[in-house]
Structure 1
Amino acid sequence: MGDQSVSDSDSVALEARQDHRWNLSASVSDSDADGRTFAVAPGGGLTIDVDSTNVGNLIDGLELKVTYNVSLIGEDGSQNWNSSGDSVTGIEVNQSAQMTVEVSVPEDAWNGSVMSVSVSAEVQGEVMGSFSFNVEVAHTPGWSVVADQANLEVEPGGSSVELSVIQLGNSPSEAYATVWVSGDNGWEIEVPDDLPVLAPGQSAAMTLNITPPETAQHGRAVELHIRLREGDGSGEAEITLPLRVSVFHDFDMSGEGDWLVSDGGGHPLTELRNLGNAPTTISLQVLSLPLGWTVSGPMEVVLGVGEIKGVPLEVIPSADWDGSVQTIRILAEDSAGNQREVSLDTEQSEYSWASSPVIVAVSGDHALVGIHGTDSLSSVTDSSSGPLERGESGDWALPALSSGAGSLSVGGSVLVYYAHVTQPSLRTAFCSIQGEFGAVMAQCSVLNGSDSFSFTILLIDDRGEMLSSFSGKAAGGTPLGPINLSAEGWSPEPGTRVLTLRLLDDRGVEIASVTGDFQIRRTDWNIGLVKLELDGEGSEQQIRVLTKRGDGDRAILEQYNADCSFSLVSGDYSMVHQVDLTGTFAPTVEIDRPEAIDDGEEIVVTIGCTFPWDIDSDSNDDESRLILSGGITEPSKYPDMGTSLAAAMLVIGVSVALAWIVRNYREGKDLMEMAMAAAEEKMVGQGAREAVEEVPVKEEVKEEVEEPREPESVSEDYPEDDFEARLKRLTRE
């Protein structure tokens, strides 16, 4: 044996080798994931929960490494499949960590494509465990219908509508379609029996043969419902498309009998009927009108769908018409260019229709008719209802009993009419027009009723132009409204204009109607005063008013025959003077100064026009003021000069006349005396001559003193002739 007393020792450091050990548990919703296949929708994902516990002998970490393989089915070309692992570090012994494995499926993946995923848990290249699972793309059905470039307006006689069916699912399949129309009855739809099998993303045409009912109206939309589903009923999808019948214009015009015409005119027995499926505007023309005859009434008529209306025109004969038959033609044309024409022969009558003899009324109501030639003493008798009553307006109340021809007897004349009598509507409605030009509010409401109610609303101006319309349907037991119609685009002429709002049912019978008056003005023009001037003085003085107008306004004022004037006001005095502003130049008006206005008083002159030209673009130049002066002249220094001159002339004239008379008398007397004296001188001698001369001369002198001498001064202005000179010489001798 060895020597036990011999021994040896050494110090050695010992270290235990790390033991990497982990317990793994992979699950989905608390169910084991290893070896399972999971269904994932396109665009979806999957999360695998991994519970990892460190059962080794030292703090440790773990990494989940993932590998995968994708098996695509059919023509699946999807990409971007993905799966990723997880990792942890610093896990204490006997401690656990939650880890995950993520999987994502692309949105365009087809049903049946599979992704196989393998997961290994590793620590420093050493595999601690592994598991695997599969992901399969689930079936997701989906369908859609596109009306791209499809005409969803169906012809009145029916037409085909081609739609596109698109496969939005992720598996090739066949769609089964169910199609119907809501909003109106009577629409017929033929659906193809089979649609082709479509792969995901593919599309195919689906042709529907659709026939609307005869009562379908343009503008009244219905809803086309299309429901698509898979063969097993899954993946049901429903879409709704608007559908309406395309517009169709047609009308009829018919005339009966002769055109009765009296001195006051007359309406024809001619009616218009809208045969289209939309409201229409019909333009009228009267052709071959005799010379001197005139036409009265609107030249355009708006008709609702199915509406009947008499031609609203009458002809007025010339004063010299002898009653001879005249053939007059009426031409009607709608907006689509359809034309209708009737020719009627005139018949002279003492009485004629002052309103259309085409009567449209509701049973039980009265229609008001006008008759030319009748008055309060006239008697009018209906062929069906007997004597008619005359209203305050002068029209006659005709009971609406039944449809068909009838006649009125008045004064031995027979006036034929045609009545269209309908039953009352199933619903009532009311309409209103409010607002002002530029902000018109036109609306109608349909009241409640047990049955469905189809209707059309028309907004019409006073020229017969349809501004807007609306067609709709109120469901049974449900009111509808208010429904607003737009007057946008209405451009009326200046003046008082009228809008009419009408609601018609599907028979073309008027249910409600209302009118609204609008004051239309233009303010894109201007007139004004330049200044006021005084011309002259005293009683001859005049006030000169200088006016102006805007460029181009002459044509506007002349076109509409604007009534313009200016007013002059001073205190209690006022006057109005008409002024014509349509001349080549703006006028200058002269008016006599009013005697009632004294110097120092102010006059105010204002220019303006009557409605609708009562507002222009600038009101600041419409008024001008002036203080009057020069109305009183200085008094004359010789106020009676005229009278004095007249009196003087009269006196001079009388004096001249008297002087002439006296002179003639004296000359005659002197001549006689001188002749007698000369004879006596020769007979008795010189002595007898002196005796004879002494007495007459003395008497003559005395006679001259007693007589007035004023005329002689006048006679001195006349020159003496030879005879007078000789007489004077004789007298001196």
Structure 2
Amino acid sequence: KVDQLGNHPEAPWFTKAGQGWAISLPENGDVVNPGESTTMTVFVTPPEDAYAGEVGVLRIRISDASGAGQIVQEIPVRVGQEANVTVDHRGTWKVNADGGLPTAWIENHGNDVAVMQVSVDGLPQGWVLNGTGQVVVAPGQLLGIPLMLTPDEAWNQQRFLVTINVHHPTLGTIDHDLEIEHGAHTFHSTPVHLARQGTEIEIEFGQILDGGLTSSDSVAFGEQSMTFIMGSNQNELLLESTIDSTDRMSIYTSGYTLPSVDVDCDLEALAFASLGRVELTGDVGECEVIASSEESVRATILLISNTGDTVPLLSDSVVLGPDENATYELNVTSWKPDAGQMTVTVKVIDSYGRILEEDSISTVSRASGWNVGIFSFTADDELKVSIQRTSYQVLEGVNCHVEIDSMTNNWPSPLVRVIDVAEGDFPPVVVIPAPAELSDNEQLKATLRCDAPYDIDDDSSDDTATALYTKSSQPIVEGSEIVVTLLVAALLLIVAYFGGILTSAPAGKKKSVPQVKETPKSEDASEPVTQDVEEEEDEFSFEIPEESTQDSGATVEEQLPVDTVEVIEVPDEEDVTPSGRLASLRDEMTGEKPSAEGRQDRMARFFEDR
């Protein structure tokens, strides 16, 4: 877009200013009135070896026909991605009971770094596939498929086809068929190599060779490996069995001549401390690149995780001329991965597919938007910790730990309980019996932690709590003392029973308890008083032998089977004094000593004397 800022209608003229990428543009545009604007179209041709994401700057000079009002406009352009990936192989996939790797590879002919997933279809039941399911292939790189296949023990060694699936994020799934064949010898390291000319390559086998293989190429066989020197172009090396010439194995190589490049990359672990809780943006490390004097350097910086994420970088291209050097910052833009343990790796891959530098760090991506904490902590006979939780569903299947330690004394080890915070409809309550060695008013600290990547929540202030241990007071009479007392009492009763002190009255034996029935008295003091004795039956009694009991001065004798006892009372000489008469009256009222004189007569006579 070109704006007319002058005061006279003019047609703009365009020319390229300075060096840079090849461009084509119109010589001039239409007449533009003051205050209006027009557009122009520019065609840009980047270098053939330019990588996806590489940035170039176009400089265009704009003026009127006479050259007046000239300005130079700089326009940044970025190379787009053009994915182009192929899958190929040589020979067959040789396997036996020791397993085997295929002579199959992935080659990136595009300009972007391809992060792809690899799998195999068509395997019978019982066959085992081991290896890395994710591969990263730079532009121009040739990479052997790193999958080890082990057949089932019941395999009859019959050939069959399988399909290798390579899933590219842009191209989709690329299918490639490969034949499985039994072999006496199998590869245990990839037989596909891309290397600089003159590099020594070593390939390992799963079996002792012992002269079992031969080759017409220049190779050296060891006990369980072979070596050769990389050539300057693509080549297929053939190996034959010395026993069966039809049993052949293929090795695929691609050699090139390269200038030397020095690269040193460092990732800052602290830059990933808040990974997952917030979007990661900013500088996480740097790479220093030094080019040789022989050739310029074109490379791509790649930041990836072992979970398959390609971390977005603000700038990922390295372009240096001969004998130049530069430091490239690794600036991440808005990366927030899922929670989990992960490894983040930076790679610098040049235009020949070489990995010039590789550096990795292990870190943790944590989840946000949840919280667990300690609601209360009490310490008496039991150490009780009540848990509170918010948005705790993310903790399903995660172990959390409640740890109690003394802040006053040094314990050999804290008390720890493992809990599942997400389990149940209500928050858990952790109860631990108080250890016997706790002292009164000892200060305790409870801490709640969960396993990584859930070891940091939204509020760390409620992850700990303190409490003073209160030793419970002992009762005056312990429960055990009451039990002992009851046992002793029961033992005494048994001893008393068998000792004869406590006896059970025999059936039919009656104990006579005299009951006096008082008959109306006449003036005659010699009239007898009859007492009826009623019999009462006791189940248990304490009997004290040969001890008499006096009742109102009368002796009661127990005679069996006498039903009545006649008691003749001889009145004492009457005391006529007031105190004597009062005593006589009291005796009569209590029933201890009757008087020959009537009660009413004596009371009247008593008050008359007053």
Q: Same-fold call, TM > 0.5? A: yes
Which residue of 289, 294, 297 corresponds with 1:446?
A: 289
Structure-2 residue corresponding to 1:467 = 311
Structure-2 residue corresponding to 1:551 = 390
Distance 1:294 1:288 in 2: 12
Matched, 1:271 2:102: no
Which residue of 213, 219, 235 corresponds with 1:404?
A: 235
Contact 1:608 1:622 in 2 (8 A): no
Structure-2 residue corresponding to 1:609 = 450
Q: Does the C-alpha gap of structure 1 residues 421 and 534 become closer, same or farther in structure 2, counting only changes over 3 Å?
A: farther
Structure-1 residue corresponding to 2:521 = none
Instruction: State the SS of the aligned residue for 1:467.
Output: coil
Distance 1:203 1:475 in 2: 40
Q: Which amino acid aligns with 1:478?
A: E
1:272-311 to structure 2, matched below 5 A, reads 272-293=106-127, 295-311=129-145
Using the TM superposition, give the Cα deviation of residue 274 of structure 1 relative to its aligned residue in structure 2, in angstroms. 1.8
Identity %: 21
Contact 1:503 1:510 in 2 (8 A): yes
Q: Does the C-alpha gap of structure 1 residues 599 and 429 become closer, same or farther in structure 2, counting only changes over 3 Å?
A: closer
Structure-1 residue corresponding to 2:423 = 583
1:162-561 to structure 2, matched below 5 A, reads 178-179=15-16, 182-183=19-20, 187=22, 211-227=45-61, 238-261=72-95, 266-293=100-127, 295-315=129-149, 325=159, 327-347=161-181, 352-353=186-187, 355-365=189-199, 384-387=218-221, 401-402=230-231, 403-406=234-237, 416-434=250-268, 435-437=270-272, 438=280, 440-450=283-293, 451-468=295-312, 470-486=316-332, 488-495=334-341, 497-522=342-367, 524-528=370-374, 530-531=376-377, 545-553=384-392, 555-558=393-396, 561=398
Deviation readout 1:499-520 (Å, 9 max, x if unpaired): 2111222222222222222233
Distance 2:170 2:190 in 1: 26
Larger Cα Rg: Structure 1 or Structure 2?
Answer: 1
Using the TM superposition, give the Cα deviation of residue 401 of structure 1 relative to its aligned residue in structure 2, in angstroms. 2.1
Which residue of 411, 430, 453 corresponds with 1:571?
A: 411
Instruction: State the SS of the aligned residue for 1:249.
Output: coil
Using the TM superposition, give the Cα deviation of residue 262 of structure 1 relative to its aligned residue in structure 2, in angstroms. 5.3
Q: Which amino acid aligns with 1:436?
A: A
Q: Does the C-alpha gap of structure 1 residues 397 and 500 become closer, same or farther in structure 2, counting only changes over 3 Å?
A: farther
Distance 2:305 2:387 in 1: 35
Which residue of 446, 460, 477 corresponds with 1:618?
A: 460
Q: Does the C-alpha gap of structure 1 residues 214 and 319 become closer, same or farther in structure 2, counting only changes over 3 Å?
A: same
Deviation readout 1:525-564 (Å, 9 max, x if unpaired): 32547446778xxxxxxx57555251331x32225x4364
Using the TM superposition, give the Cα deviation of residue 599 of structure 1 relative to its aligned residue in structure 2, in angstroms. 7.3
Contact 1:281 1:334 in 2 (8 A): yes
Contact 2:213 2:240 in 1 (8 A): yes
Structure-2 residue corresponding to 1:15 = none
Distance 1:637 1:510 in 2: 84
Distance 1:294 1:552 in 2: 41
Unaligned runs of 5+ in 2: 273-279, 495-610
Instruction: State the SS of the aligned residue for 1:443.
Output: strand
Q: How many residues are paired up?
A: 462
Instruction: State the SS of the aligned residue for 1:436.
Output: helix
Distance 2:38 2:463 in 1: 75
Q: Does the C-alpha gap of structure 1 residues 609 and 452 become closer, same or farther in structure 2, counting only changes over 3 Å?
A: same
Give the stretch that moved more between structures: 282-291 or 622-631: 622-631
Deviation readout 1:133-191 (Å, 9 max, x if unpaired): xxxxxxxxxxxxxxx2xxxxxxxxxxxxxxx697979697895x65477345xx4x556
Instruction: State the SS of the aligned residue for 1:556.
Output: helix
The TM-score normalised by the length of structure 2 is 0.60
Contact 2:101 2:188 in 1 (8 A): yes
Q: Does the C-alpha gap of structure 1 residues 365 and 564 become closer, same or farther in structure 2, counting only changes over 3 Å?
A: farther
Using the TM superposition, give the Cα deviation of residue 445 of structure 1 relative to its aligned residue in structure 2, in angstroms. 2.5
Using the TM superposition, give the Cα deviation of residue 252 of structure 1 relative to its aligned residue in structure 2, in angstroms. 0.9
Contact 1:280 1:302 in 2 (8 A): yes
Using the TM superposition, give the Cα deviation of residue 389 of structure 1 relative to its aligned residue in structure 2, in angstroms. 9.5
Using the TM superposition, give the Cα deviation of residue 498 of structure 1 relative to its aligned residue in structure 2, in angstroms. 1.7
Deviation readout 1:557-606 (Å, 9 max, x if unpaired): 225x4364646677336554443444224445566776x64675957654
Q: Does the C-alpha gap of structure 1 residues 589 and 196 become closer, same or farther in structure 2, counting only changes over 3 Å?
A: closer
Q: Does the C-alpha gap of structure 1 residues 329 and 231 become closer, same or farther in structure 2, counting only changes over 3 Å?
A: same
Using the TM superposition, give the Cα deviation of residue 328 of structure 1 relative to its aligned residue in structure 2, in angstroms. 3.1
Contact 2:10 2:64 in 1 (8 A): no
1:129-144 to structure 2, matched below 5 A, reads none
Contact 2:17 2:72 in 1 (8 A): no
Q: Does the C-alpha gap of structure 1 residues 256 and 385 become closer, same or farther in structure 2, counting only changes over 3 Å?
A: closer
Using the TM superposition, give the Cα deviation of residue 329 of structure 1 relative to its aligned residue in structure 2, in angstroms. 2.1
Distance 2:64 2:380 in 1: 100
The TM-score normalised by the length of structure 1 is 0.51
Contact 2:93 2:181 in 1 (8 A): yes
Structure-2 residue corresponding to 1:393 = none
Give the stretch that moved more between structures: 608-617 or 366-375: 366-375
Structure-2 residue corresponding to 1:99 = none
Instruction: State the SS of the aligned residue for 1:333.
Output: strand
Q: Does the C-alpha gap of structure 1 residues 338 and 388 become closer, same or farther in structure 2, counting only changes over 3 Å?
A: same
Q: Does the C-alpha gap of structure 1 residues 531 and 240 become closer, same or farther in structure 2, counting only changes over 3 Å?
A: closer
Q: Which amino acid aligns with 1:182?
A: Q
Q: Which amino acid aligns with 1:307?
A: Q
Distance 2:441 2:114 in 1: 65
Q: Does the C-alpha gap of structure 1 residues 266 and 180 become closer, same or farther in structure 2, counting only changes over 3 Å?
A: farther
Q: Does the C-alpha gap of structure 1 residues 522 and 228 become closer, same or farther in structure 2, counting only changes over 3 Å?
A: closer
Distance 1:427 1:433 in 2: 20
Instruction: State the SS of the aligned residue for 1:447.
Output: strand
Contact 2:263 2:357 in 1 (8 A): yes
Distance 1:448 1:566 in 2: 56
Contact 1:455 1:503 in 2 (8 A): yes
Contact 2:218 2:228 in 1 (8 A): no
Contact 1:567 1:607 in 2 (8 A): no
Instruction: State the SS of the aligned residue for 2:334.
Output: coil
Distance 1:352 1:493 in 2: 40
Distance 1:282 1:263 in 2: 29
Distance 1:587 1:619 in 2: 19
Q: Does the C-alpha gap of structure 1 residues 205 and 622 become closer, same or farther in structure 2, counting only changes over 3 Å?
A: closer
Contact 1:302 1:465 in 2 (8 A): no
Unaligned runs of 5+ in 1: 1-147, 149-163, 391-395, 536-542, 649-733
Distance 1:576 1:236 in 2: 78
TM-align CA RMSD: 5.1
Q: Which amino acid aligns with 2:289?
A: V
Higher relative contact order (CA 8 A, sep 6+): 2
Contact 1:400 1:421 in 2 (8 A): no
Distance 1:323 1:166 in 2: 80
Q: Does the C-alpha gap of structure 1 residues 620 and 313 become closer, same or farther in structure 2, counting only changes over 3 Å?
A: same
